[in-house]
Structures are given as structure tokens and as C-alpha cells.
Amino acid sequence: MSEVALRPQGLDEALAERRHELRSPEVVMAPRQLGAARLTRYSFSRTLLRRAAREGWQARLVELDMDAEGRGHAIYRTEAGDRVFDFVAFTTTVDESLHTDRVIAEAWEVCGALVDGAVDADYLEVLRREVPRQEDARLDPRVLVLTRGNRSVRFFGYLVDRLAAGLQPEADKVADAGYILRSTAFYGNGKFGMRSYLGYPEGHPLRSPYRAQFLCAWMFRELGYDQVEHCARARGGDRAVRFAGDWRRYFGLGNATGLGLVPYAFKHPRVLNAWAGVRELALANVRSLPATPKRLDTLRRWVDRAVVHFETIGGGDRPPWLGPTTLAGRARRVRARIDEVAGDPAPFDALFRWAEDEDVETCELVVSLLVELDEGLDDDLVDHFLRVDEEVVVDPLTTAADLRSLLGERYAWLDGLDLEGDGHYWWVISDNSDEPRRVVRSALEPDNHDVAIDVARRLHALGRCLDDLPDDAAVGTLLAEAPHHASAVRRLLGGGQPYGEPRDDACAAGYLPLEVQRFQLAMYGMDNYSPKSTDWLRVTLFQGAPRCDDLGPETTDDWVWPPRPTEASA
């Protein structure tokens, strides 16, 4: 059978064909449900490492030139098939008072770039000049990703002290710290002169959405370990030790995420649809599976892993979300429920239906756990589904009657929102690091500086306009007279994907950015969601993941939700 024959349909067809088996868009795209999403086996961090292991990628540190405080540079090389990718990081130290998670910070302890190809001495100097400039950098298409971050103020020094003294970390001292370094941005796709994502040629190992960013993030995480061990050696000499036992993998990469994700979510409905659609197809696959001892054992192992992970992290709730201790309790209830449904002819469906009636976090935890059992989607197919074509063709002969009909069919949920008036907020880009922000309209008028993510309001306004048009009025004529409806028309005609639209108004007074942010972060493969305000949060990625040295044919995919190491396990 040819490869093409294995992919008889695209995502849209798959979702349409199986729509009666899938969760409804009203449920999946409801803000609270989005805000309860968790990573799955199809999240980008997971698919990257599975592919790297399957295709025999090799990754290693090739150069580390740092002083005793960890200031200097490092180069990590990944060999993927016949291609080489170098992650180059420039490191320094900044005063603790200048540490901030915000993307608008001006000082960073780590600035890095992922380069397509091996970096020679001359190019290293180019990168040394440009990469620390971040948003002011002028890069070239050899560069795929630009990133930056800081050390964990609480733990970097502590970890150095311990290793320098010949000791491993103490479990109770790291508490909920799941990382050594904390990143804050992974720019790519043509920004600052970098390669455009759509420019990656056929067969390129990183030609899947966000794969380059996640390779970069995985290297960034590796840098944290190497920096700590380097500083410990410099301080402790022969007495110093390296991370050992379960500590070798325990730390992930921290990330601080702000409002930058929100405009993306509202501007790319087909991308959101693909992310959610893959998960929903996988869930439907698993719900239809009959029980086997092996499947039930696998599910129990995953739930046990979740229980231990959340329990050992510990800590109270993180409003508006549950915290690790509560989640551990929820996971224990899931574990008990599995035993109750194990004899059911469709136990996974029964488990899901039970979870649906619980709170949203329990429900999405169960979804994440169940998707671990999926046998129906292979990684190539998922990559295929995730590469979406975002072009929308507007046929000018489309009539007002057609548009009205589509609006009712695809956007009936707008009726549940209060879309009269201008909205409480408008969205703006700050001159400091291009960071999106939202402003209360009564405090500052947009005056043509607004970022147009008011999708719901634009569609609502289009609907009002259509009410006044005859059925046979052509959209081409409408746009000639009222071009300010163009984006709404394009959205309407290009829509129709079930999971493309967060059912929300980003300009409403009660809008909570955290919800769509968490959905995106979960799809990336991040966890340990820790909100710091209504608008930004901290997360961890690659916690428990294989290190560069671990990558090989035996690399397994069961690394997420690691238990915190104990003295015995270290």
C-alpha cells in the first residue's frame, strides 16, 4: 500500500465523517473547557521526541565556553538524517532585581538561536552580535528560532551549591520547582529575517508546526543542566558531581507566557481546529476500544503516574484552576472509577462519560489520560493533519443570502454573547518588545492602534449589515462599498471547521486570557500551569523528558508527569 493510500483524507474530512463520535464544538471550544486542557501524547513536545527517537536523531553538546559563573556560550548539535541543527546560546548573569518573566524585560541571562546547519567561527560572531539584541536583531534564513530566558532565581544557585559539594538536590528543597532555566519566547516563522515556516522544503525534519521551536526548547533545557554542572565543577573541583539518578531528567524548562498567544488563537482558526481536532479524533478512537488487560494496565499506570506526580509536587489550588494536591485527589478518583468500569463492554467510553459529569479539570485530565491509549493515529498522519492551508478564497458572487445562512449555521453561538457597543477592552501592541496588551477602552481610545482580534464583534457587525441587503446582493459588491467587512467575510467563508473558534469575545469585560492560553500551552506539551494574573502564567515543559544522551531506539514515550525524586531514587 502506498503512503498516499494510507492518507485517504484530510483532517476536515476525518472530522466530518466521524462528527457523531466526537465531542461537540460547543463543549470543546467553551472557554472553561479550553482553560482545563492538558497535554496529550500528540502535544508537540511529545511528537518531537518520538520522531527524534524513531528516526535515530543524535544530539550532543559540541562546545561550551563559560567562566565560573556560567557566562559565555554553548553550542548543541542535533543530527537529524542528513541535516544538522545547531542551537547556540549566549549566557550571562543579570542582577536579581532585573529578573522578570515578562516578555518586555530588557535583560536576559540566556539568549539563543536554532540554526539550520553547522555554525562556524565566523557565523558564531554574527550570532553573538545579533542574538542578544532579540527583537532588534537582524537575522537571516539560516536561523529558524530565536529565544531567551533567565535562570530560576530560587534554584539555580542552590543546585550549583549542592553539586559543587558533591551532593544531589534535596527533594523537599525543590518543592514545585520543575526547571532550572525559564524561557519566555520562541520566535520563528520569518520574524527578524529568520526562515519562514512555509519555506522549509519537503522532507525537512522540522517541517511540522512548532517542531523547530520545540527542538530549540529541548536544547534550552539541556543547557540548564550543563550550566549548573559547569558552575559546580568550577566551584567544587574534584568534589563536584553531576546530576545523578532521577535528578538527571527531573527538571524541565520553565516558560512564562503572556498575552502574545491570544491574538494568534483568534487569528488562526484552522490551526486551532487542527490542534483540537487531532485530540478529539484520538479520544473518539479510544472511547470505541474494547477492554483488554493490557490497555487497562496501561491506563492504570498512567493514572498512577499522575497521582504520584501531582502528590509529590504538592501545593494548593492555583485559581482559577486546581492545584497539584487537588489534582492528585481527582486522579485517585479516576483510578477508582477505572476499576468500576473495567468490566464494561466499552470501559473507556464509560470512564469518559463519568468524567464529563465531573468538573472540567477532571474531565480534561481523563481526556489526556485516555488519549495515551490511542492506536489509531500515527505520528505521520498527525503531522499531515497539523499542516493546514490557511488561504481563504472569497468568491465575489457569493450572495448575502448565502452569507446569512452560513452565519446562522457556523456562528449561532454569537447569539450568546453581548456584542453590542464597542467592547470593554481593545488590544494593542506595546512599543516595548512588541508585546500585545489589552486596554480598557474608557481609559484610552484605540485611535487606529487596535489589533483586530475582535472576531465575534466583526461577525456580529457583518450580520447586522447583511440584514439590510437583498438576498441576491453579491459579496463582491458589498466589499467594494464596505471593505471594513472584509475580514469578517473571509472568516465566515473560510470557517466551517468545528474546532476553529474559541467561543468567546476577546474584548468583553469578563474575558479571561488564561483560558485560551492554557489550551495552546497544553497543545504545545506544557504542564504545571501556574497563573500569575488574569493575563500571564508560568508553565513547565519537557519535565522528565529524555536528555540528549538518552536519545536512542530505546527511548520511551512515558516520561511526562515524573515523580519528584527522593533521596533513594537519586
Partner 1 sequence: MAVTVAPREVVDEIHRASRALGLNADLADRLAVEIAFCEVHHGGGLAAWADLVAADGDRLADAAHVPFRMTGAEVEARTTGTARIDLEPAVPLAVLARSIRDLDRRGICCTPSPDGRPGTDLVAALDLAVGDPDPTADARIAERSQDALNHGVTVDADLWRLLRGRSHDFLVAESVLDAAHVEGEGGI
**Nearer residue to partner 1 within complex by CB, 43 or 208:** 208
SS3 category, 253? strand
Contact 181, 224 (CB under 8 A): yes
Q: Which stretch binds partner 1 (CB under 8 A): 150-158, 340-348, 365-373, 391-399?
A: 391-399
Of 443, 468, 510, 568, which lies in the binding site for partner 1, with binding defined by CB under 8 A?
443
Residue where the block lists cell 512515558: 558
Of 124, 126, 241, 428, which lies in the binding site for partner 1, with binding defined by CB under 8 A?
428
CA atoms in the 13 A half-sphere facing the CB of 248: 13
CA atoms of 274 and 382, how far apart (whole Å): 9
For 540, the grid coordinates are 513547565
Instruction: Establish if 509 lies at the interface with partner 1 (CB under 8 A).
Output: no
Q: Which stretch binds partner 1 (CB under 8 A): 159-167, 290-298, 357-365, 430-438?
A: 430-438
295-324 footprint of partner 1 as x/- string (CB under 8 A): ------------------------xx----
Residue where the block lists cell 490551526: 271
Instruction: Establish if 385 lies at the interface with partner 1 (CB under 8 A).
Output: no
Q: CB of 443: closest distance to partner 1 in angstroms?
A: 4
What is the SS3 assignment for 217-243? HHHHHHHHHHHHHHHHHHHHHHHCCCC
Q: Determine the size of the site formed for partner 1 (CB under 8 A).
A: 60
CA atoms of 361 and 356, how far apart (whole Å): 10
Of 18, 83, 99, 191, which lies in the binding site for partner 1, with binding defined by CB under 8 A?
191
**Nearer residue to partner 1 within complex by CB, 46 or 457:** 457
Q: CB of 276: closest distance to partner 1 in angstroms?
A: 24
Q: Which residues ranging from 125 to 164 are in contact with partner 1 (CB under 8 A)? A: 138, 140-141
Of 182, 287, 438, 503, which lies in the binding site for partner 1, with binding defined by CB under 8 A?
438
Contact 542, 147 (CB under 8 A): no
Burial of 417 (0-12, 13-18, 19+ CB in 10 A): middle
| Partners of residue 146 on adjacent β-strands | 113, 187
Instruction: Establish if 396 lies at the interface with partner 1 (CB under 8 A).
Output: yes
337-376 footprint of partner 1 as x/- string (CB under 8 A): ----------------------------------------
Of 67, 292, 440, 464, which lies in the binding site for partner 1, with binding defined by CB under 8 A?
440
Q: CB of 498: closest distance to partner 1 in angstroms?
A: 26
Instruction: Establish if 569 lies at the interface with partner 1 (CB under 8 A).
Output: no
Q: CB of 23: closest distance to partner 1 in angstroms?
A: 27
Burial 398-409 (b: 16+ CB within 10 A, else e): bbbebbbebbee
Of 477, 556, 566, 567, which lies in the binding site for partner 1, with binding defined by CB under 8 A?
477
Q: CB of 320: closest distance to partner 1 in angstroms?
A: 6
SS3 category, 170? coil
Instruction: Establish if 397 lies at the interface with partner 1 (CB under 8 A).
Output: yes
**Nearer residue to partner 1 within complex by CB, 70 or 531:** 531
Q: Can you say whether residue 174 is alpha, beta or left, with left for phi > 0 and alpha for psi between -120 and 50 degrees?
A: alpha
**Nearer residue to partner 1 within complex by CB, 476 or 552:** 476
CA atoms of 508 and 494, how far apart (whole Å): 24
For 84, the grid coordinates are 544538522
CA atoms of 524 and 556, how far apart (whole Å): 19
Q: Which stretch binds partner 1 (CB under 8 A): 53-61, 120-128, 226-234, 469-477?
A: 469-477
Q: Which stretch binds partner 1 (CB under 8 A): 218-226, 305-313, 427-435, 557-565?
A: 427-435
Instruction: Establish if 203 lies at the interface with partner 1 (CB under 8 A).
Output: no
Identity of the amino acid at 419:
L
Instruction: Establish if 536 lies at the interface with partner 1 (CB under 8 A).
Output: yes
Instruction: Establish if 480 lies at the interface with partner 1 (CB under 8 A).
Output: yes
95-124 footprint of partner 1 as x/- string (CB under 8 A): ---------x--------------------
Q: CB of 455: closest distance to partner 1 in angstroms?
A: 12
Q: Give the phi and the psi of residue 203 in degrees, each rounded to 5.
A: 85, -5
CA angle 187, 192, 196 (to 5 degrees): 70
Instruction: Establish if 431 lies at the interface with partner 1 (CB under 8 A).
Output: yes
SS3 category, 149? strand
Instruction: Establish if 226 lies at the interface with partner 1 (CB under 8 A).
Output: no
Q: Give the phi and the psi of residue 436 in degrees, each rounded to 5.
A: -65, 145
End-to-end Cα, the chain, rounded Å: 48
Residue 399 gets which letter from DSSP? B
Q: Can you say whether residue 234 is alpha, beta or left, with left for phi > 0 and alpha for psi between -120 and 50 degrees?
A: alpha
CA atoms of 63 and 86, how far apart (whole Å): 11
Q: Give the phi and the psi of residue 476 in degrees, each rounded to 5.
A: -60, -40
Q: Which stretch binds partner 1 (CB under 8 A): 84-92, 165-173, 249-257, 481-489?
A: 481-489
Instruction: Establish if 190 lies at the interface with partner 1 (CB under 8 A).
Output: yes
Instruction: Establish if 461 lies at the interface with partner 1 (CB under 8 A).
Output: no
Q: CB of 483: closest distance to partner 1 in angstroms?
A: 4
Q: How many Cβ atoms from other residues are within 10 Å of residue 569's Cβ? A: 14
Residue 185 gets which letter from DSSP? E
Contact 247, 169 (CB under 8 A): yes
Of 37, 219, 228, 259, which lies in the binding site for partner 1, with binding defined by CB under 8 A?
259
**Nearer residue to partner 1 within complex by CB, 24 or 477:** 477
Contact 58, 68 (CB under 8 A): no
Instruction: Establish if 176 lies at the interface with partner 1 (CB under 8 A).
Output: no
Q: CB of 141: closest distance to partner 1 in angstroms?
A: 5
Footprint of partner 1 on this chain (CB under 8 A)? 104, 138, 140-141, 189-196, 198-201, 258-259, 319-320, 393-397, 425, 428-432, 434, 437-440, 443-444, 448-450, 452, 474-477, 479-481, 483-487, 514, 531, 533-536
